[in-house]
């Protein structure tokens, strides 16, 4: 699958000026029905910079396995709102699986950003908050490649998770290009210095400060990419920064299939709203097998229900976040048979050509059907 990952986001606003699509917050309207999700406990709040905090969350043992995650994924939070009851916001995990004992997200305040400001102002040690299990496809899945990582501002958050995993769980060499407005804006500055000292033979951090060097250009990116042609690349930050990095990587001639980019989408639905209780479909269904996490789930898929809803009703831990076709977390491949999918921008033409569909937007058409996550 092409290395483009979609997630829901409130916006990333430092490093270089942010485009309007990234600055708008997504508001999901509360449902009067009971909500889904799980309560996590805040065990620490860390002031990273004057306008950013890391929130450390502990998962109760009862659903710890449900919150297992991969480096680069995100959590979606149910945030109280006087106006709508609650809103949903997603924030990347800066912790690394198997390395950090607890989950940690890092949140930077955005101007007019309800979710980021509420979290920074209201969460403290001992607080609880409702969260969906980890999701997202901007992940480090292998450990064989050396890595070239690009981040701007709070885009460092998933990149930090990927960086820690690569350093602690592999022998990969890592170069991090990290752009910020100024020295005070550098999130994880102390941790990065410690990593440089501990892994001085494998890690190089290139800090780019706008107040000293101006904004980086695609030529700057092309130069560092051309010097490291064997690296897999990851980029996260404001849209203009990611577009500039993409241009630089193309100019350097690095293969696009080894380039991974986080893509942000606003959330229009409410992923915390409880699903209607199934009444038992009397209509036609299609024989289906879903291969997920090493297990084969066999069932008759009603033609009036989406794949995600059917799997959730069966107690299957299917990956999803928005349930409205916006984040791409439930992307899966149609191996056999045919499904019908509502139109969505979360998959690009290359994804569709490879047989990918969104589980939350797909219904069966002709079978037998086989799906692989």
- Mapped onto helix, strand or coil, the DSSP state of residue 163 is helix
Q: Is 24 exposed, middle or buried (0-12, 13-18, 19+ CB in 10 A)?
A: middle
Q: How far apart are CA 23 and CA 138, in angstroms?
A: 21
- Mapped onto helix, strand or coil, the DSSP state of residue 43 is strand
pLDDT at 274: 64
pLDDT at 277: 58
Cβ contact 152:178 at 8 Å = yes
pLDDT at 140: 87
pLDDT at 3: 47
pLDDT at 9: 43
pLDDT at 6: 44
Residue that has been written with the tokens 């997920």 in this structure: 292
Residue that has been written with the tokens 């820690």 in this structure: 164
* Other beta carbons within 10 Å of 246: 18
| Token pair belonging to 319 | 């990956």
pLDDT by residue, tens only, the chain of 373 residues = 444 444 444 444 333 222 222 222 333 333 334 457 899 999 999 999 999 999 999 999 988 888 999 999 999 999 998 887 888 899 999 999 999 999 999 999 988 889 999 999 999 999 999 998 888 888 987 766 899 999 999 999 999 999 999 999 999 999 999 999 999 999 999 999 999 999 999 999 999 999 999 899 999 999 999 999 999 999 999 989 999 999 999 999 999 888 999 876 656 567 777 665 555 566 788 999 999 878 899 999 999 899 998 998 888 878 877 777 777 778 899 999 999 998 777 777 878 888 889 998 999 998 799 999 8
Contacts of 192 (CB under 8 A, 6+ apart): 176, 178, 186, 205
- The angle, 0 to 180 degrees and rounded to 10, between the axes of the packed helices 189-198 and 156-169 is 20
What's the sign of the alpha-carbon dihedral 13, 19, 23, 29?
Answer: negative
Torsion of Cα atoms, 41 then 47 then 49 then 51, to 10°: 60
């Amino acid at each position: 699958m092409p290395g483009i990952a979609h997630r829901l986001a409130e916006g990333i606003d430092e490093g270089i000026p942010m485009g309007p699509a990234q600055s708008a917050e997504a508001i999901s309207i509360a449902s009067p029905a009971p909500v889904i999700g799980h309560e996590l406990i805040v065990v620490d709040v860390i002031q990273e910079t004057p306008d950013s905090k890391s929130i450390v969350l502990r998962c109760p043992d009862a659903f710890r396995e449900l919150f297992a995650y991969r480096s680069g994924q995100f959590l979606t939070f149910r945030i109280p709102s006087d106006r709508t009851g609650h809103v949903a916001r997603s924030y990347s995990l800066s912790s690394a699986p198997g390395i950090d004992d607890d989950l940690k997200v890092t949140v930077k305040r955005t101007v007019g950003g309800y979710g980021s400001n509420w979290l920074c102002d209201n969460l403290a040690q001992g607080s609880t908050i409702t969260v969906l299990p980890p999701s997202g496809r901007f992940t480090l899945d292998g450990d064989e490649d050396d890595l070239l990582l690009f981040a701007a501002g709070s885009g460092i958050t998933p990149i930090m998770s990927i960086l820690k995993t690569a350093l602690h769980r592999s022998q990969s060499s890592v170069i991090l290009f990290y752009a910020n407005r100024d020295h005070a804006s550098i999130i994880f500055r102390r941790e990065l210095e410690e990593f440089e000292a501990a892994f001085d033979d494998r890690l190089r951090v290139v800090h780019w400060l706008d107040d000293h060097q101006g904004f980086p250009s695609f030529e700057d990116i092309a130069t560092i990419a051309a010097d490291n042609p064997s690296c897999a690349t990851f980029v996260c930050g404001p849209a203009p920064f990611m577009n500039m990095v993409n241009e630089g990587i193309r100019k350097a001639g690095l293969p696009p299939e080894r380039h991974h980019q986080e893509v942000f989408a606003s959330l229009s639905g409410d992923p915390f709203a409880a699903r209607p209780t199934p009444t038992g479909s009397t209509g036609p269904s299609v024989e289906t097998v879903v291969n997920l996490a090493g297990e084969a789930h066999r069932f008759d898929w009603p033609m009036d229900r989406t794949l995600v809803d059917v799997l959730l009703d069966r107690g299957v831990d299917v990956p999803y976040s928005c349930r409205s076709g916006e984040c791409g977390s439930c992307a899966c491949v149609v191996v056999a048979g045919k499904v019908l999918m509502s139109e969505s921008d979360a998959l690009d033409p290359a994804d569709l050509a490879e047989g990918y569909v969104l589980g939350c937007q797909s219904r069966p058409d002709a079978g037998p059907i086989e799906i692989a996550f």
